[in-house]
Amino acid sequence: MIDARRLTKRYGSTVAVDGLSFEVRGGHVTGFLGPNGAGKSTTMRMMLGLDHPTEGSVLIDGTPYGRLKHPLRKVGALLDAKAVHGGRTARDHLLCLAQSNGIPSSRVNEVLALTGLTEVARRRVGGFSLGMSQRLGIAAALLGDPEILLFDEPVNGLDPEGILWIRTLMRNLAAEGRTVFVSSHLMSEMAQTADHLIVIGRGRLIADTGTREFISRSSQGYVRVRSPRLPDLARLLDGAVSGRAGDGTAAVTLHGDHLRVTGMTAAAVGEAAAGAGLALHELAEVAPSLEAAYMELTQSSTEYAGVTS
Ligand SMILES: Nc1ncnc2c1ncn2[C@@H]1O[C@H](COP(=O)(O)OP(=O)(O)OP(=O)(O)O)[C@@H](O)[C@H]1O
């Protein structure tokens, strides 16, 4: 388990991380989200003892990273996949890491196989594509067979096959009971990978909740509708929704060439349009999305109202 308690990091007058408290548990993929500059990398660096908290602490199973007896056997991390010695072969890079951490060299072949790198193990890392470097970084993270894995933006720049591979790997690692903590900017990817989310903004906690709860609490679906007679349709639907949903969730809003309708089903919109003789060029239910929920929360969160469960 990772336990951050009132974790704070200041760089001069910049408060990068501001009193952050949360726990990351085993058996889940926990997504770590936040806008650029929110403090995600700084938090991860403090988890790995690469930076020291100004105040508060972050503990790995009750111990600061720097005091772990066998850090690589406890925590594996992928921070910057390209930060390896380019002149070495993949195998030598992993052998070197294994030797300096008291890990048997037989494990190197295992992680090479696990990450699909066996065939390129004797090639120099400097010539690796981003996808191969990413796999090598993950092989290094898995070397000590750690219970806890940290991935900072692991799918950045990868092709769809690489993204699917990493997603499946993270889900499998969590299914084995490991703690998987992953930062990403890609909301659609996180929606498919993470069961739990920690969302931060300006160094503070905004949400600590299940992915499904996060989406359903913060965002609602809508009906997207296009018509060559958009103003007439807007007036018609405005009249139809104004009598509905007293909680203020029913609305018709114009977005470029289409309307977004909440508080009515697509069927009801279609029936209303047909009744008024208005042609429709598009009628679609848009499900609530993590992206919409995230945008809503991070954009409207100057006061950062908390969502926790
Ligand atoms: N070494 C440093 N010295 C000074 N300021 C820093 C340092 N590292 C980070 N910061 C500042 O701390 C804040 C948080 O940065 P951090 O890189 O942790 O955010 P992030 O959420 O990882 O952003 P991104 O999504 O862009 O990677 C930013 O304002 C950044 O400029």
Does 254 lie in the same domain as 174?
A: no
Write out pLDDT tens, residues 31-58: 999 888 899 999 999 999 999 999 999 9
Q: Using CA atoms, how far apart are residues 172 and 158, in angstroms rounded to an integer?
A: 19
| Residue 249, in any domain of the structure | yes
Q: Give the per-residue pLDDT at 82.
A: 62
Does 210 lie in the same domain as 62?
A: yes
Question: At 230, phi and psi to the nearest 5?
Answer: -60, -45
Does 121 lie in the same domain as 244?
A: no
Q: Give the per-residue pLDDT at 126.
A: 87
Q: Does the Cβ of 156 fall within 6 Å of ligand 1?
A: no
Q: Give the per-residue pLDDT at 247.
A: 57
Does 22 lie in the same domain as 120?
A: yes
187 touches 289 (CB < 8 A): yes
Q: Does the Cβ of 299 fall within 6 Å of ligand 1?
A: no
Write out pLDDT tens, residues 221-235: 899 999 999 999 999
pLDDT band at 245 (very low <50, low <70, confident <90, very high): low
Residue 263 has pLDDT above 80, yes or no: yes
Q: Does the Cβ of 133 fall within 6 Å of ligand 1?
A: no
Structural domain count, the chain: 2
Does 268 lie in the same domain as 152?
A: no
The pTM assigned to this predicted structure is: 0.82
| Residue 302, in any domain of the structure | no
- Among 216, 245, 266, where does a domain finish? 216
Q: What is the mean pLDDT of residues 13-40?
A: 94
Q: What is the CATH number of the domain that holds 271?
A: 3.30.70
Q: Give the per-residue pLDDT at 242.
A: 79
Q: Does the Cβ of 242 fall within 6 Å of ligand 1?
A: no
| Residue 301, in any domain of the structure | no
Per the listing, tokens 């009193």 go with: 19
Q: Does the Cβ of 37 fall within 6 Å of ligand 1?
A: yes
Q: What is the mean pLDDT of residues 159-174?
A: 91
Does 255 lie in the same domain as 123?
A: no
Residue 156 has pLDDT above 90, yes or no: no
Closest C-alpha to ligand 1, atom 6: 11
Closest C-alpha to ligand 1, atom 26: 36
Q: How far apart, in Å, do the first and last CA atoms of the chain sit?
A: 17
| Residue 79, in any domain of the structure | yes
| Residue 144, in any domain of the structure | yes
- Among 183, 216, 249, where does a domain finish? 216
Residue 237 structural domain: 220-287
- Read out DSSP for 209-277? EEHHHHHHHH---EEEEE-TTHHHHHHHHHHHHHTS-TTTT-EEEEETTEEEEESS-HHHHHHHHHHTT
Q: Does ipTM exceed 0.85?
A: yes
Residue 159 has pLDDT above 50, yes or no: yes
Residue type at position 192: Q
Does 182 lie in the same domain as 152?
A: yes
Long-range contacts of 155-158 (CB under 8 A, 24+ apart): 155/184, 155/186, 155/189, 156/185, 157/130, 158/130, 158/131, 158/134
Does 192 lie in the same domain as 231?
A: no
| Residue 107, in any domain of the structure | yes
Retrieve residue 75's tokens: 């925590």
- Among 196, 216, 236, where does a domain finish? 216
Does 197 lie in the same domain as 274?
A: no
Does 241 lie in the same domain as 115?
A: no
Q: Using CA atoms, how far apart are residues 266 and 300, in angstroms rounded to an integer?
A: 28
Q: Does the Cβ of 39 fall within 6 Å of ligand 1?
A: yes
Distance 247 CA to ligand 1 centre (A): 40
Retrieve residue 90's tokens: 């993949």
Q: What is the CATH number of the domain that holds 168?
A: 3.40.50.300
pLDDT band at 300 (very low <50, low <70, confident <90, very high): low
74 touches 47 (CB < 8 A): no
Does 73 lie in the same domain as 22?
A: yes
Q: Which of 110-114, 127-131, 143-147, 178-182 is predicted with the least confidence, judged by mean pLDDT?
A: 127-131
Does 227 lie in the same domain as 78?
A: no
Question: At 229, phi and psi to the nearest 5?
Answer: -115, 60
